[in-house]
Structure 1
Amino acid sequence: MMREIQEYRHKVQYYETDQMGIVHHSNYIRWFEEARTDLLEQMGMGYDRMEALGIGSPVLGVEADYLRMVHFGDIVSIQTRMKEYNGIKLTLEYEVTDEKTGMVHCRGLTKHCFLNEKGRPVSLKKDYPDIHALFVEMMEQGKQKPE
């Protein structure tokens, strides 16, 4: 049984904001990557381990819905959930929440695939069953959480 995954926390830095002290929209995409990296590390399958095995996971697509502004000095929590996984492709969902108010400020998703060192698609299910089992377990764990 996998341990409880902790949300990723981020304190907004000055350089992430514009002259009005509001976070520039591009930074949410960076936060998604930080949260994704953190999730994989908590699963025991960080990018360093995947790359050592010759597995890459490029981003195929990104979506972000900006609901409210985030400001310099705010602390946000980013919950990351697996939405879809089939052994070859992965879709993750993100929810950026203000820690003080509990209000959701941004929702988004990223789509990924798995490639070998030659840039060819990899089936984790077939080629890396132990890694596939981790992703399946995380997918199942995400389905049990209330939305």
Structure 2
Amino acid sequence: MKFKPYIRKVNYYETDRMSIVHHSNYIRYFEEARIYAMEQLGCDLIEMERQNMIIPVVDVYAKYHKSLCCSDEFAVYIKMTYFNGVKQKFDYEIRFTSDNSLACTGHSTHCFVNENHKPISIKRINPEIYNKFMSAVEE
């Protein structure tokens, strides 16, 4: 499944005194896009947590190409590149909507744990969600 891009504008509070987005906010943009992608699959993160399926970040990486500034509109393109029921990986591209130029690339890896932070298998716990995630994996 190809996800729709997540699109929004940079808010003033996300920038420094030069109106440039602080580097930490790109990680937040990744997360916003990931939640949006999960919604496209019909997987509500809050509902999953209520069902004792928590998805912490194992690692995250960002490479900055061109700075976003206050009021810039951008799109986050996301792909799920790995999923095995216990772990998943997403790749991200943040692009300016004005000219499609690249602002940032990156990836994040996640695992699935229960409320006691013990690893779980989504395939065993919830086969329906497992199948939704499997349908979204892109090579």
Deviations 1:67-102 (A, max 9, x none): 111111100000111011111001111100000011
What amino acid does structure 2 have at the position aligned with 1:26? Answer: S
Q: Identify the residue that residue 27 of structure 1 maps to in structure 2.
A: 25
Q: Identify the residue that residue 61 of structure 2 maps to in structure 1.
A: 63
- The answer to whether the 8 Å contact 2:10/2:73 transfers is yes
Report sequence identity in percent.
Answer: 39
State the secondary structure of the residue aligned to 1:134. helix
Runs of 4+ that moved beyond 6 A: none
Segments of structure 2 that go 5 or more residues without pairing to the other structure are none
Structure 1 residue 126, shift from structure 2 partner = 2.4
Higher RCO, 1 or 2 (CA under 8 Å, sep at least 6)?
2
Structure 1 residue 19, shift from structure 2 partner = 1.1
Alpha-carbon separation, structure 1, partners of 2:115 and 2:68? 38
User: Which of 5, 8, 20 is the equivalent residue of 1:7?
Assistant: 5
Deviations 1:83-135 (A, max 9, x none): 11111001111100000011111001111000012211111122221111001
Asked if residue 96 in structure 1 is aligned to residue 94 in structure 2, the reply is yes
- The answer to whether the 8 Å contact 2:19/2:70 transfers is yes
| TM, length-normalised to structure 2 | 0.95
Alpha-carbon separation, structure 2, partners of 1:128 and 1:73? 41
Query: Number of paired residues?
Result: 139
What amino acid does structure 2 have at the position aligned with 1:24? Answer: H
Asked if residue 110 in structure 1 is aligned to residue 108 in structure 2, the reply is yes
The alignment yields a C-alpha RMSD, in angstroms, of 1.2
